[in-house]
């Protein structure tokens, strides 16, 4: 079943089917060359999860799923439109609307298309394919030699209104957790986004609130936000995957700010400036079972509050690619430059009991096309802080992601990440084994203040679509990492590596790209302590 709504001015009110040869998210050449075309009709179509008119999807399971699922309401789609009837046709507004709808996480596929004009009037088709929004069940993961599981219930589209509500019970590597959250990307139909998180943990709790109005397009004049988060937990450092030190940690993070565009958008680029007030506090204390002298290795507590100011340069050079991250999925990549610089100043005069500190950061992101239809994205960040009672410190990090498609079902994916701390605080470490790094080793097996990780995956998906719900694939991977620079294990090998094979299951009817992985990884050149030489990893695919 399809829900359709239409708004129009001028011209016929009946919207025909897809124009022959029209491409998703593109404006036909005859429109681009027209003299000042205007939008005269907007048709919104919300399609069911399964298209039961297609023979392969016409079965009792598909019909039951359509019946149980509450379709997204047309006003939810309409409020995302960055154009209205009577506006001059702006191809970027159509493309950005499509990206925004896709980013909501409610739809499997999105099309925003301008059809050929009639007497200077352009008709726009907005078509969304609903996704199954209720996630329930129990999942089990084994990563880094540790068993974890969680029981969850999440509805991403409550009553078809685009709101999210979730509950979760999880047993993880470091803690047990009961959590509930609520999100609404369009609070009361506005462009305000609200998020609430409450979590009770075996070692503490989390409370989080945020209310913000992000930039919805490059031409948006301004954005703002306010947020507050508090948490109590145990902070642990590790040696060879085992807890070395353990402390109580209380944190508080808050900010209120505004940002606005400077000048007009020129050639798909814009400048933005922003500022506000920020508060950050970290308090470390010893546990009742702490060993004598253990406080010497405890990170330093601090409290900072004061104004911040930031400057951003952003280019929109988006490309929408299908089958790159996962089969049958559209993914948006911005190949333009995104540069941000921010300065935060804390002093006793700008907050209650706050320390003096100057914190600055610079981040850059950029993407490029690669030969053979590939893509790569590169991101880097440099941070530094000084002043007050603590020594000056800094950190440098960088990430590279690249995809080399060989066909719609076969590609090579490469991920590289490096991070280095400069004069870090005590107990601040990177880890290379397990979830944050090498799958063939135990969780947090290697520690240091400088790390480098490179992963190469060869992915091959099959044409089968099991019950129209899951598409399987296989993967072979190799990983190599280096760790060093002052961790608890100062001696021994710096470079470690593993290889493995795995199964991939792409959930076709869910909105966000969801790929379940089952991997078997074996370390290279290092005898496994405890007699085990293979790790089994069950979980969700990395974000590349």
How far is 102 from 75, CA to CA, in rounded Å?
A: 16
Task: Please tell me the predicted confidence (pLDDT) of residue 456.
Answer: 97
Mean pLDDT of 263-287: 94
Residue 296, by phi and psi: left (phi above 0), alpha (psi -120 to 50) or beta? alpha
Q: Could you tell me if residue 112 is inside a domain?
A: yes
Long-range contacts, stretch 83-87, CB < 8 angstroms, 24+ apart: 83/39, 83/42, 83/124, 84/7, 84/39, 84/42, 85/7, 85/8, 85/9, 85/39, 85/40, 85/41, 85/42, 86/9, 86/38, 86/39, 86/40, 87/38, 87/39
Contacts of 289 (CB under 8 A, 6+ apart): none
Smallest CA-to-CA distance from 325 within 469, 538, 506, 499 is with: 506
Q: Would you state the structure tokens that stand for residue 165, as one six-digit string? A: 């509500």
Is the pLDDT assigned to residue 76 strictly greater than 50? Answer: yes
Distance from C-alpha of 3 to C-alpha of 256, rounded to nearest angstrom: 40
At 174 the pLDDT is 80
74 within some domain = yes
CATH number of the domain that 38 lies in? Answer: 3.10.20.310
Look at residue 68 and tell me if it is in a domain.
Answer: yes
Report pLDDT digits (tens) over 329-368. Answer: 888 999 999 999 999 999 998 888 899 999 999 999 999 9
φ and ψ at 96, to 5 degrees? -70, -35
- Identify the pLDDT of residue 532: 54
Q: Is residue 279 within 8 Å of residue 228, measured between CB atoms?
A: no
Q: What is residue 529's predicted lDDT score, i.e. its pLDDT?
A: 52
pLDDT at 119: 86
More confident site: 215 or 36: 215
What number of residues does the chain have? 544
Residue range of the domain that includes 45: 2-130
H helix or E strand, kind and range, residue 75 = helix 74-78
Residue 512's pLDDT is 65
Highest mean pLDDT (candidates 231-235, 422-426, 509-513):
231-235
Q: What is the mean pLDDT of residues 21-37?
A: 51
pLDDT at 513: 63
Give, for 143, the enclosing helix (H) or strand (E). strand 134-143
Q: What is the CB neighbour count within 10 angstroms for residue 543? A: 8
- In terms of Cα–Cα distance, which of 176, 143, 129 is closest to 502? 143
* Alpha carbons 17 and 201: distance in angstroms, whole number: 53
The rounded distance, in Å, linking the Cα atoms of 187 and 99 is 20
The predicted pLDDT at position 465 comes to 83
Both structure tokens of 327: 């089969």
Residue 358 in any domain: the answer is: no
Rounded CA separation 438/496 (Å): 8
The residue with tokens 């409020």 is 79
Question: Is residue 252 over pLDDT 80?
Answer: yes
Between 14 and 374, where is the model more confident? 374
Tell me which of 201-210, 262-271, 327-336 is least confident: 327-336
Q: How confident is the model at residue 18 (pLDDT cuts 50, 70, 90)?
A: very low
Burial of 97 per CB tally in 10 Å (0-12, 13-18, 19+)? buried
pLDDT score at 23: 38
- Neighbouring residues of 167: CB distance < 8 A, sequence distance ≥ 6: 152, 153, 154, 179, 180
Q: What pLDDT does residue 95 have?
A: 93
Contact 425, 300 (CB under 8 A): yes
- Model confidence at 21, pLDDT cuts 50, 70, 90, reads very low
pLDDT tops 50 at residue 263 = yes
Structure tokens at 213: 């109005």
Q: How far apart are CA 534 and CA 501, in angstroms?
A: 11
At residue 47, does pLDDT exceed 70?
A: yes
Count of domains observed in the chain: 1
Q: Residue 413, SS3?
A: strand
Whole-angstrom CA distances from 389 to 304, 357, 402 are 12, 9, 42
- List the beta bridge partners of residue 346: 357
**Is 62 inside a domain boundary?**
yes
Q: What is the pLDDT of residue 486?
A: 67
Q: What is the distance between the alpha carbons of residues 226 and 520, in angstroms, rounded to a whole number?
A: 44
């Amino acid at each position: 079943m399809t829900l359709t709504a239409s708004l129009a001015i001028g011209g016929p009110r009946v919207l025909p089917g897809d124009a022959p040869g029209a491409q998703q998210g593109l404006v036909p050449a005859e429109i681009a060359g027209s003299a000042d075309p205007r939008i005269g009709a907007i048709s919104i179509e919300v399609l069911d999860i399964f298209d039961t008119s297609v023979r392969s999807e016409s079965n009792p399971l598909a019909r039951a799923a359509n019946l149980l699922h509450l379709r997204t309401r047309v006003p939810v789609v309409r409020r995302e439109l960055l154009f209205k009837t009577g506006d001059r046709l702006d191809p970027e507004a159509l493309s950005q609307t499509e990206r925004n709808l896709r980013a909501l996480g409610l739809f499997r596929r999105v099309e925003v298309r301008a059809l050929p004009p009639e007497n200077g009037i352009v008709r726009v088709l907005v078509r969304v394919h609903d996704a199954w929004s209720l996630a329930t069940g129990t999942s089990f993961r084994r990563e880094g030699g540790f068993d974890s599981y969680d029981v969850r219930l999440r509805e991403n589209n409550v009553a078809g209104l685009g709101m999210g509500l979730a509950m979760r019970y999880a047993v993880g590597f470091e803690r047990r957790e009961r959590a509930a959250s609520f999100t609404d990307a369009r609070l009361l139909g506005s462009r305000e986004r609200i998020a609430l998180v409450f979590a009770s943990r075996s070692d503490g709790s989390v409370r989080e609130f945020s209310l913000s109005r992000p930039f919805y397009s490059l031409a948006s004049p301004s954005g703002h936000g306010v947020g507050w988060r508090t948490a109590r937990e145990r902070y642990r450092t590790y040696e060879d995957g085992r807890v070395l030190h353990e402390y109580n940690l209380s944190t508080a993070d808050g900010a209120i700010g505004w940002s606005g565009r400077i000048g007009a958008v020129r050639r798909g680029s814009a400048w933005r400036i922003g500022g506000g007030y920020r508060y950050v506090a970290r308090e470390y204390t010893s546990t009742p079972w702490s060993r004598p002298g253990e406080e010497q290795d405890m990170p330093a507590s601090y409290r900072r509050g004061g104004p911040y100011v930031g400057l951003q340069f952003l280019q929109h050079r988006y490309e929408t690619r299908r089958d790159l991250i996962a089969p049958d999925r559209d993914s948006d990549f911005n190949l333009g430059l995104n540069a941000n610089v921010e300065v935060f100043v804390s002093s006793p005069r700008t907050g209650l009991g706050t320390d003096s500190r100057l914190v600055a950061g610079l981040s850059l992101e950029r993407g490029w096309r690669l030969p053979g239809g590939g893509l790569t994205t590169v991101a880097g960040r440099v941070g530094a802080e000084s002043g007050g009672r603590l020594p000056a410190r800094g950190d440098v990090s960088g990430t590279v992601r690249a995809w080399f498609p060989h066909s719609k079902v076969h590609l090579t994916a490469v991920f590289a990440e490096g991070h280095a701390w400069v004069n870090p605080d005590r107990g601040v470490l990177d880890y290379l084994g397990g979830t944050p790094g090498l799958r063939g080793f135990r969780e947090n097996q290697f520690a240091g203040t400088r790390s480098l990780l490179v992963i190469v995956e060869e992915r091959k998906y099959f044409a089968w679509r099991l019950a129209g719900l899951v598409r399987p694939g296989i993967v072979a991977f190799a990983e190599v990492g280096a760790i060093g620079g002052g961790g608890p294990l100062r001696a021994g090998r710096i470079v470690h590596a593993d290889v493995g094979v795995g199964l991939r299951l792409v959930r076709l009817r869910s909105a966000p790209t969801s790929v379940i992985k089952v991997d078997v990884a074996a370390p290279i050149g290092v005898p496994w302590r405890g007699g085990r030489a293979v790790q089994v990893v069950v979980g969700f695919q990395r974000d590349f």
